[in-house]
Amino acid sequence: MNNNVFFKKSFYITYVTVIVLIVGAFYIFKIFDKTSSDIERLTLQSNIEYINNITNNLANLINKKTDMQLVNSLKISKVLRRSLEENLGMFRTKRYKYIYVVQKLPNTEKFCFLLDGAKKDKSGFLEIFQPFNIQEWLEVYKTKKPRYFKHRNIKSLWLTYLKPIVQHNKVVGIIAIDFSLNEYNYMHNTLDDLSFSIKIFMSLLLFVFIVVLIFVFIDKKRVYLLKKQAKEIQNFNITLQKKIDEEVIKNREKDKQILEQSRLAQMGEMIGMIAHQWRQPINAISAASITINMRAQMDTLDPKSTIELADKIGELTQHLSKTIDDFRNFFKDTKEKQDMTYDELVISTLDIVGVSVQNKNITIITDIQSDIVFCTYVNELKQVLLNLIKNAEDVLEEKKIKNAFIKIEAVENRLIVRDNGGGIPEDIIQKIFNPYFSTKTLNGTGLGLYMSKTIVENHCGGTISVTNDAEGAVFCVVLPST
């Protein structure tokens, strides 16, 4: 209890401290922001004032030494040009690197050099010059007032200051000074970094404040929720067992219904198989009966032919009887485990479904390389194998695969059923064992593979899985060997 009280006191002290820090940081930020703006403004203003003084002196010097039009004076006297350029060069420093005088060419937006204070790569007299930000230069001619603008090259930030040279109330040229703003830019960046750091600090404080506020709210909410949850848990515990029992009953009923639906679906398929199995023997019996009848009417029925036809009818009748036994054994509700090999399983299943599949031009290939004896539920495994074969048959028939085949392999304790139907799409292959999930466009219940998985894993203690190979789907049943 004492620890809880101490925690709450510390918590609220932290809360108040954070509020004070936020208010203080905000006040400091406002002062810093105003101070940094003043520093930047005064720094730039001092540079502009200094350059303005330089250009005033240069303008006065040029006006003093040229008593006629500026261009004409400079054309006449190379000595004058050299002297003025030396005067321009006196103001050249590392920061004030380029100092030059240009004049606008009549009826164009191009300029030409009159004087260039550069030490190297000096531009020639009347050499054409096309400046950047042409509107700023033209505005000097229009307003007869100085202008400046910032610009950036690859390496640094520059400011160009433009001073008009006025003679007889007319702009006859422009003194241009390019000077580096790197120091100003460095100071600006430094102030920005400091401002950003303060903002980050304030954001962190605000975040802490919000977190503390949330914890205060959560702490109050927690007590309320604990009381509410305790009551809900008490009520829930009273009805939990009842709900569990109800759900268990529902799940058992659901599984029972699914099993019944799967069994009915397989019985429907079996009826079709019986029809396929019986069609040929019945036709043969009918043909033998017609033969006996015709020969009797024609008085050509001899004892030997009669015996042969009777024997044939007897064989066909036994085949029909065996078919009935196979189907009856298949659906026999036997819950006792029996010994079985994969070879016996495959043969007994193909006795039921083989003719039906082959009548649809699907080749059945068997490759049994296992003689392991399994003690398991034989009839249920027949249902699994039958379902895998019928699924492959439906796919091959639906896609109209040429040279269709179903291959049944047995290697050690693995039973593999594969086909050349193109396989199962990767986006649904993990869902095909789910109940009521079907890939068939018609007559698909979605129960066959679900029940197959239930039989193999829950009843027989094995596993069933599916993959795709280059030709189609590959189902693999693995049974525990005894």
pLDDT score of 417: 96
pLDDT score of 374: 93
Distance CA 229, CA 223 (A): 10
Distance CA 249, CA 239 (A): 16
Distance CA 419, CA 365 (A): 10
- C-alpha distances in Å from residue 343, one per residue of 126, 335, 362, 370, 414: 107, 21, 21, 8, 12
DSSP 38-78: HHHHHHHHHHHHHHHHHHHHHHHHHHHH-SS-HHHHHHH-H
pLDDT score of 153: 67
Distance CA 204, CA 88 (A): 54
- C-alpha distances in Å from residue 474, one per residue of 100, 172, 384: 86, 93, 14
* Rg, Å, the chain Cα set: 51
Distance CA 345, CA 370 (A): 12
Q: Please say whether the beta carbons of 292 and 309 come within 8 A.
A: yes
3-state secondary structure of 161: strand
> Could you report how far apart the first and last alpha carbons of the chain are, in Å?
63
DSSP 250-308: HHHHHHHHHHHHHHHHHHHHHHHHHHHHHHHHHHHHHHHHHHHHHHHHTT---HHHHHH
Instruction: Provide the β-strand partners of residue 116.
Output: 100
For the chain, list residues with pLDDT below 50.
Answer: 1
Distance CA 44, CA 52 (A): 12
Burial class (CB in 10 A: 0-12, 13-18, 19+), 275: exposed
3-state secondary structure of 385: helix
317 contact partners, CB below 8 Å, separation of at least 6: 281, 285
pLDDT score of 353: 82
Distance CA 390, CA 349 (A): 11
Q: Please say whether the beta carbons of 456 and 467 come within 8 A.
A: no
Distance CA 406, CA 44 (A): 88
39 contact partners, CB below 8 Å, separation of at least 6: 187, 191
Q: Please say whether the beta carbons of 115 and 85 come within 8 A.
A: yes
pLDDT score of 18: 65
pLDDT score of 120: 79
Tokens of 387: 């379902």
pLDDT score of 100: 87
Domain ranges of the chain: 2-180, 336-478
285 contact partners, CB below 8 Å, separation of at least 6: 313, 316, 317
pLDDT score of 319: 60
> Residue 369's closest CA among 338, 341, 400?
341
pLDDT score of 131: 86
Q: Is this prediction's pTM over 0.85?
A: no
pLDDT score of 383: 84
Query: Is CATH 3.50.50.60 the classification given to domain 2-180?
Result: no
CATH fold for the domain made of 336-478: Heat Shock Protein 90 (3.30.565)
